[in-house]
Structure 1
């Protein structure tokens, strides 16, 4: 591939990834997924990573979906391989040990919605449009939408979106819990910068532990999940981060993590 499909900007461990296919509304094809997977693999190996922000190039779309032109002629076996490629990549994003945030502007449909669902939370501009319209194309979501969407918004709403194919605006996405924040499009960049500063200033070990406790605990019974929380809570006392954080609180100063 001659041109970069994923633009990477690193600012003191806060990494911003921009999917850059604006003429195709940043649609996910095999090349995009392969490059994103490679980038995420590199990020997994980093010790100083604090957070990952992911967005799409241009003002029209976060990601408008998977690339239909590429999918149209696939056989069932090729479709399975394509879905598996996407699932591997989105799982790699989901399991990064640091917070991941989707910055959603414009269309966030199909594979784009599934990409946002693989992030820990999503921030949307007021022009964002969400949906899982695959049934309108004679298929179903294949990048995790039928599984991550009900875990985010509940099975009733997930069934609504996945079986009607209807699109929803940012306000409804906020109401059902699909996104965490909605703001005017002109303010999205400033919020992203503020969020990066906030995440970069928090204790990285404790942030990673909180993410692990929530993600791993969701798939366990309550007693097991509480035991996991206790173990991770105790682990936080094994390093210098807890000493610095609590000392700074007592001394009425800002911690230096």
Structure 2
């Protein structure tokens, strides 16, 4: 991985991660994916929020060299190890205790579409486009689909992977990939406003809300309500929640 393939800036309690290969649409190598996973796993040590975005006109158009075949086809076991690079990234995003905000200004295809879905909040420009073109490259799309499984309805998932069409940010919003769509000229200001609003809450509130969003919807209703009751009582009794940010 080249030194500046991913730019990182610690902005107070916010870790800003920028995919930085704009000439190729921020398509990512395996080394870039490994570095992204590492950064996300380490982020909670110094940060309360992660902001992930891409440099230039696109967010991330997928994996670099997607569809290229090795001289010798690897065994299924070896191929699984290759795939784990991507699955590890999705897992890091889900398991990260602090919220990850994704900013999509342009193309988000394949892996880019997947990580846009995997992040906790995704703000898209009205110029953004999303697609899952894997099958056009003779690649099974199940890696991307695994990032959709708890976010995107079945029929929407099927449409994306079978059609391979690009969809608008408004359609991506209706599918559950995106949280909000804003005019391109107002994208940065909207994200700044969102981060400022989130930072009004103490860290313990941010992490506990993510914990519930991650686990609550998959529980039986009675269990989800009881979990909410216990989490509410526990967090509201913590000393940290009464401490204003400095």
Normalising by structure 1, we get a TM-score of 0.87
Give the secondary structure class of the aligned counterpart of 2:199. helix
Mapped to 1, the partners of 2:236 and 2:33 lie a distance apart of 39
Look up the match of 2:109: 109
Look up the match of 1:94: 94
Mapped to 1, the partners of 2:100 and 2:185 lie a distance apart of 22
Mapped to 2, the partners of 1:173 and 1:22 lie a distance apart of 23
Mapped to 1, the partners of 2:15 and 2:67 lie a distance apart of 29
Look up the match of 2:35: 35
Look up the match of 1:121: 121
How big is each residue's C-alpha offset from its partner over 1:216-237, in whole Å with a ceiling of 9 and x where there is no partner? Answer: 1222222222222122111113
1:58 aligns with 2:56: yes
Look up the match of 2:213: 214
Contact 1:14–1:200 under 8 Å retained in 2: no
Look up the match of 1:187: 186
Shift of 1:70: 7.5
Mapped to 1, the partners of 2:39 and 2:241 lie a distance apart of 31
Look up the match of 1:68: 65
Shift of 1:133: 1.3
Contact 2:173–2:180 under 8 Å retained in 1: yes
Structure 1 residues 153-232: aligned runs within 5 Å: 153-232=152-231
Shift of 1:27: 0.9
How big is each residue's C-alpha offset from its partner over 1:176-209, in whole Å with a ceiling of 9 and x where there is no partner? Answer: 3321111122211112221221111112211211
Give the secondary structure class of the aligned counterpart of 1:4. coil
Mapped to 1, the partners of 2:75 and 2:27 lie a distance apart of 21
C-alpha distance 2-111 of structure 1, shift in aligned 2 (>3 A)? closer
Mapped to 1, the partners of 2:117 and 2:161 lie a distance apart of 14
How big is each residue's C-alpha offset from its partner over 1:51-84, in whole Å with a ceiling of 9 and x where there is no partner? Answer: 111011111x100011235743263545422221
1:22 aligns with 2:19: no
Look up the match of 1:252: none
Contact 1:5–1:35 under 8 Å retained in 2: no
C-alpha distance 91-234 of structure 1, shift in aligned 2 (>3 A)? same
Contact 2:6–2:19 under 8 Å retained in 1: yes
How big is each residue's C-alpha offset from its partner over 1:65-124, in whole Å with a ceiling of 9 and x where there is no partner? Answer: 112357432635454222211111221122111111110011101110111111012100
Look up the match of 1:139: 139
Give the secondary structure class of the aligned counterpart of 2:102. strand
Contact 1:110–1:134 under 8 Å retained in 2: yes
